[in-house]
Chain A
Amino acid sequence: MTRHLRTGIGVVLTAIMLFPVYWMINVSFTRDTDMRASPPHLFPVDGTLEGYRAVLDQQLPYLGTSLLVGLGTVLLTVVLAAPAGYSLAKLRPAGRPAITFVLLIAQMIPGIIMAMGFYAIYLKAGVLNTLPGLILADSTIAVPFGVLIFTAFMAGLPDELLQAAAIDGASRWRTFVSVVMPVSRNAVVTVSLFAFLWAWSDFIFASTLAGGGAHQPVTLGIYHYIGNNNQQWNAIMATAVIASVPATILLVIAQRYVAAGVTAGAVKD
């Protein structure tokens, strides 16, 4: 097989794999009247922006909520996970294997079960349908992963670096804030990207904990669209395209972090 032939086959395989993504984009530009045309319009030649206009009219609040929830989850996850990773990697706490074990197991608990427990707790505490409640629940998807990533990364930092800071009279907290965190930028980026993406994509927590309130994320926006009887598929698919933007940005600007995150045992919930 020549190299060119391989490249050709690779392009064809990728095109097949990404066909549903193309179809989503194509349908998002298709006019209502052409939606059920036979044969289907394979290219958006007589395209329309109706779908995107509907997004602008109806979906902006949902998108805003998703953005806030995503950013809140990132902040909470990094603040909780980075110090824990530093401790596990460099300070050798007694009971380290047990903590690591719990973190690995925690990632395997089905989201639906967490959702039921949270629902019971939130109902009583009166925090159903609130932004902080949803952020807190979404962070459970990312925190164990975050601690493990920070631990793996910080274990690779040279001990001399930390000793030098200690000799200069820096406390452990100071060392962590001014030495460890700045050199751990890659880990911060990886954890933040995944935390944001998972919070942005979450459907289970949103539908159980925020489904009846004023703060609903875009996953519910799409879900309500599908539930409607007069299904406007160009509007649904336009919302889906917009909802895919964070994943696309992630892939374009942070490809190597994504691959690293996947192979680190990061698995989508």
Chain B
Amino acid sequence: MTSVRRARQLAAWGFLAPVVVYLLAFYAYPLYRNLDLSLRHYTVRSFVRGDAPFSGLDNYRTIFADPSFGPALLHTVVFTGVSLVFQFAIGMALAVFFAQNFRLSATLRALFLVPWLLPLIVSASTWSWMLNSDSGIVNWTLGLAGVDPVNWLTSPRWSLVSVIIANIWIGVPFNLVVLYSGLRTIPGEIYEAAALDGASGWSAFRRITFPLLRPVSAITLLLGLVYTLKVFDIIWIMTRGGPVDSSTTLATWSYRLSFGNLLPQFGPGAAVGNLLIVMALICGLIYLRIQRRQA
């Protein structure tokens, strides 16, 4: 019996081996390289030759003292928080709306997925042109209402708002689909019973839908958090984090340090990246804990 079991274990690990090797070589090793980068003092030459001197936590000290650090952290928090609130609220409203099955609801729900499926560069460049100061459709529409043109992408006051708007647009479909599938698990009888007691519409939502949807909501928000923290493409393509850091987040700052300048600063870039990883992992672990408790 033990030999049968051992044979099964051997087979099981035989099937798993490629992925385990893959995870070690193409996840663990790059992450280790990244950690190593953040602990050494690199120049372009020592980066190529690989003989950079060990410098302990110097890179971390450098980034904490950098004037970009405060704004980048603040923008990351604002970008993530505001995006999540709006994505979730809009997604929830749409999910409740689409749950009242009407003609075409399945087709329209599918169409709502389009923004989420488009390549981010496509969405980002479309929004860039729509938000163009002189010729964008957004400013033209505002002009009809008598509002003066807004320099969406080129003024420090509006650049963060602009990338948040685009990001909300991209994230709504995900919230809609997950919350909708959560709504489907609430039995209709509960609403019928509540209707007999006189609860319908908003009070039914507040007293029944929202409490029963709390587990799904928690998962949606935490997954959203993990994935919004690392948003890079949209911001980089629309504003490059600018003007003057006004839409810089940790992700775009990390990229700019390592790849955005003529003289790359790989050490500090990797250090910022590792900060980001710690934030993402904390949220990820909370997510896994909640999910396990629900299972």
Partners in one complex: yes
Residue ranges of A at the interface with B (Cβ–Cβ < 8 Å)? 3-4, 6-7, 9-11, 13-14, 17-18, 20-21, 23-24, 27, 35-36, 38-40, 79-81, 83-84, 86-88, 91-94, 99, 101-106, 108-114, 116-121, 123-124, 136-137, 139-140, 143, 147, 172, 176, 197, 200-201, 203-204, 207-208, 219, 222-223, 226, 233, 236-237, 240, 243-244, 247-248, 250-251, 255, 258-259, 262-263, 265, 267-269
Residue contact B178 to A262, C-beta cutoff 8 Å: yes
Residue contact A262 to B140, C-beta cutoff 8 Å: no
Residue of B whose beta carbon sits closest to that of A39: B140
Residues in B neighbouring A222, C-beta threshold 8 A: 121-122, 125
CB distance from B153 to the nearest CB of A (A): 12
Q: Interface size class for chain B?
A: 35 or more
Residue contact A243 to B119, C-beta cutoff 8 Å: yes
Residue contact A91 to B119, C-beta cutoff 8 Å: no
Residue contact B126 to A23, C-beta cutoff 8 Å: yes
CB distance from A241 to the nearest CB of B (A): 8
Residue of B whose beta carbon sits closest to that of A24: B126
User: Could you list 19 A-B pairs, sorted by A, with CB under 8 Å?
Assistant: A6-B97, A17-B111, A18-B114, A20-B126, A27-B129, A35-B135, A80-B22, A88-B16, A110-B229, A111-B230, A112-B230, A113-B30, A114-B31, A117-B32, A201-B120, A219-B119, A233-B129, A265-B223, A268-B174
Docked Cα-Cα span, A39 to B144, in Å, equals: 10
Shortest Cβ-Cβ A-B pairs, 9 listed: A117-B30, A110-B230, A91-B12, A201-B119, A93-B12, A87-B15, A247-B117, A84-B19, A6-B102
* Known A-B contacts A84-B18, A203-B237, A267-B227; A262 and B174 likewise in contact (beta carbons under 8 Å): yes
Does B8 sit within 8 A of A, measured CB to CB? yes
Docked Cα-Cα span, A22 to B20, in Å, equals: 44
**What's the count of A-B pairs with C-beta under 8 Å?**
267
Docked Cα-Cα span, A208 to B33, in Å, equals: 16
Residue contact A117 to B31, C-beta cutoff 8 Å: yes
Residues in B neighbouring A17, C-beta threshold 8 A: 111-112, 115, 169, 172
Does B226 sit within 8 A of A, measured CB to CB? yes
Residues in A neighbouring B202, C-beta threshold 8 A: none
Residues in A neighbouring B34, C-beta threshold 8 A: 113, 116-117, 120
Residues in B neighbouring A108, C-beta threshold 8 A: 226-227, 280-281, 283-284
Among B1-33, those with CB < 8 Å from A are: 8-9, 11-16, 18-20, 22-23, 26-27, 29-33
Residue of B whose beta carbon sits closest to that of A240: B122
Residues in A neighbouring B48, C-beta threshold 8 A: 123-124
Most buried by A among B47, B100, B137, B169: B137
Residues in A neighbouring B163, C-beta threshold 8 A: none
Residue contact A112 to B127, C-beta cutoff 8 Å: no
Residues in B neighbouring A91, C-beta threshold 8 A: 8, 11-12, 15
Docked Cα-Cα span, A116 to B255, in Å, equals: 8
Residue ranges of B at the interface with A (Cβ–Cβ < 8 Å)? 8-9, 11-16, 18-20, 22-23, 26-27, 29-34, 37, 47-48, 50, 94, 97-98, 100, 102-105, 108, 110-123, 125-130, 134-135, 137, 140, 169, 172, 174, 177-178, 181, 223, 226-227, 229-230, 232-233, 237, 251, 254-255, 258-259, 266, 269-270, 273-274, 276-277, 280-281, 283-284, 288
Residue contact A14 to B111, C-beta cutoff 8 Å: yes
Residue contact A258 to B113, C-beta cutoff 8 Å: yes
CB distance from B87 to the nearest CB of A (A): 12
CB distance from B168 to the nearest CB of A (A): 11
Residue of A whose beta carbon sits closest to that of B274: A113
Residue contact A20 to B115, C-beta cutoff 8 Å: yes
CB distance from B241 to the nearest CB of A (A): 12
Residues in A neighbouring B30, C-beta threshold 8 A: 113-114, 116-118, 120-121
Residue of B whose beta carbon sits closest to that of A242: B122
* Known A-B contacts A17-B172, A108-B226, A147-B19; A255 and B110 likewise in contact (beta carbons under 8 Å): yes
Residue contact A244 to B112, C-beta cutoff 8 Å: no
Docked Cα-Cα span, A137 to B116, in Å, equals: 22
Docked Cα-Cα span, A83 to B229, in Å, equals: 32
Residue contact A116 to B273, C-beta cutoff 8 Å: yes
* Known A-B contacts A80-B18, A262-B174; A21 and B118 likewise in contact (beta carbons under 8 Å): yes
Residues in B neighbouring A21, C-beta threshold 8 A: 114-115, 118, 126
Question: In the complex, given contacts A10-B102, A87-B14, what are 16 additional A-B residue pairs having Cβ atoms less than 8 angstroms apart?
Answer: A3-B102, A10-B108, A17-B172, A20-B115, A39-B140, A83-B19, A110-B229, A112-B232, A112-B254, A113-B273, A113-B276, A114-B30, A116-B33, A117-B37, A203-B121, A247-B118
Residue of A whose beta carbon sits closest to that of B276: A110
Residue contact B111 to A268, C-beta cutoff 8 Å: no
